[in-house]
Structure 1
């Protein structure tokens, strides 16, 4: 599933291609035809992302609300629009650029109230300048849920998916099954600051790279990663392979329907000091 940096880039690309201009809107597939007709020939005001949600604003407080889900894609292209190919749910076109939406699990035309309701439910997004990490910390510090579960909960922290979850917890040597309430405030702040930097880099490059300079293929003399997701990572989808840092075999385990990936040596099982003292 696309993570927050992908939606942020998409919002930026849509705003650059269509912002402040009249656009033609159509639904070649037909499933969005009635709503497309309501925004056809109106001004596209702008676009923004909140976590994995995208809102494209049109005149008169109308918003196209999109969630790409697992297979959704919105291609923004420059030049005259060709004949649509495949099941295009929504096409935007202004003569000099076009954008085709396919496969999204959600594509609705909503008003400002609904937009504000959805955005208000989301946790802080590391890519947004108005994000308040304290909102996430207040929920994490009192929760018995695993930190690996909490930071994937979009109402706790918006925009983080399975790749960034696995990688940021590895980078900070945190066991993904550790209860949120056992984290120290300084550990949460370090995780947040790292996510801000990692997602910003993802926006810049369009891919997820999380390894530090000393662990790149060039620095280690190893082969580059070959994976559909691209990017150099420490643990994500590396089950059974040696850790780049310590050589221990990377492990995986399902948590709430999604696979966790971690290094059992670099991310040791958490034991509270109180429990160790009692033992």
Structure 2
């Protein structure tokens, strides 16, 4: 399932390519035909992400809520105006690691998490882009326009030059402003939405009164928005925190550090398109990590391998029906 950084990147892609433009809307699959008919010909007013959910506001106070879930993805095609504020994997802007080391050459991720196309350098390109947790690469330039419908497209949004196809979402619904506000109100704080300081207070207040293990609280979208399996495992390791510790047993400062670490990691994820969770890497290590997801995490996906810090075998267990990776020595 796409974690928070991916959804924020998708929202920024919509902001660059669709906001301020009238769109043609259709549901080739037919499952969203009535909703598409409502959106047809309306101007997109704004795009925003809150955690793992995205909201597109159209004229006449109509909101489109999309939750990609496990299988959803947006495919963009046409003239893609990419965000100049976000680093690119294609090297046009270079890449900067957490310590500020600029890398002049492109770094391409063979694992599929990032792409040279998802959010790139400040240019206009006729490309094909898949935006999900498993981003795909470019299609041939000069392809048919508008692109042919491929597979089960729930919703197609089309301007004169850009196309966005939605496939396989968990949720794709129209909402009134009140309904949209009610949906957002049920979500936990997101460091990139509203005042981060207020978000921190809200997060800490909830965590410190819960008897629930912190590993479950971090995945609860009503407690904090956007954290998924990868960020959860990595944040707990970075904090050297036993995942079974009840929230109410955490020192307040530990809870605050968890929030601030999420704020930092989310910003890195939005900038790079990758869930980079290791700090202070030398340029060569950073290059290897950006190219291979197995080199950019402390514990995630490392079951039975030695801990990078102490050498203890990383444990894999199931908690809340999701896999959890952790080091029983570092995270006592």
8 Å Cα contact 2:5/2:270 also seen in 1: yes
Cα 1:158–1:188, aligned 2, differ >3 Å: closer, same or farther?
same
Per-residue CA shift, 1:204-232, capped at 9, x if unaligned? 1111010122488738xx998855xx761
8 Å Cα contact 1:144/1:180 also seen in 2: yes
Once the 2 structures are TM-superposed, how far is the Cα of residue 197 of structure 1 from its aligned partner? 0.9
- Alignment partners' CA distance in 2, 1:239 and 1:206: 24
- SS of alignment partner, residue 270 of structure 2: helix
Q: Which residue of 2 aligns with 1:22?
A: 22
8 Å Cα contact 2:61/2:177 also seen in 1: yes
* 1:240 equivalenced with 2:304 (yes/no): yes
Give the gaps of 5 or more residues in structure 1. 269-279
Once the 2 structures are TM-superposed, how far is the Cα of residue 127 of structure 1 from its aligned partner? 2.2
- What is the 5 A alignment of 1:1-279? 1-79=1-79, 80-131=145-196, 132-214=199-281, 218=285, 232-268=296-332
Give the gaps of 5 or more residues in structure 2. 80-144
- Alignment partners' CA distance in 2, 1:30 and 1:123: 33
- Alignment partners' CA distance in 2, 1:48 and 1:98: 18
Once the 2 structures are TM-superposed, how far is the Cα of residue 262 of structure 1 from its aligned partner? 0.4
- Alignment partners' CA distance in 2, 1:27 and 1:83: 13
Once the 2 structures are TM-superposed, how far is the Cα of residue 235 of structure 1 from its aligned partner? 0.8
8 Å Cα contact 1:14/1:76 also seen in 2: no
* TM-score (ref. length: structure 2): 0.76
8 Å Cα contact 2:303/2:313 also seen in 1: yes
Once the 2 structures are TM-superposed, how far is the Cα of residue 67 of structure 1 from its aligned partner? 0.5
Q: Alignment length, in residue pairs?
A: 265
- Alignment partners' CA distance in 2, 1:101 and 1:223: 30
- SS of alignment partner, residue 269 of structure 2: helix
Once the 2 structures are TM-superposed, how far is the Cα of residue 129 of structure 1 from its aligned partner? 3.6
Counting helix residues as a fraction of each chain, which structure ranks higher?
Answer: 1
Q: Which residue of 1 aligns with 2:83?
A: none
Once the 2 structures are TM-superposed, how far is the Cα of residue 78 of structure 1 from its aligned partner? 2.8
List structure 1 runs of 4+ shifted beyond 4 angstroms.
214-217, 222-227
Aligned-residue CA RMSD in angstroms? Answer: 2.0
Per-residue CA shift, 1:10-64, capped at 9, x if unaligned? 1110111010111101111111111101111110111101111111110011111
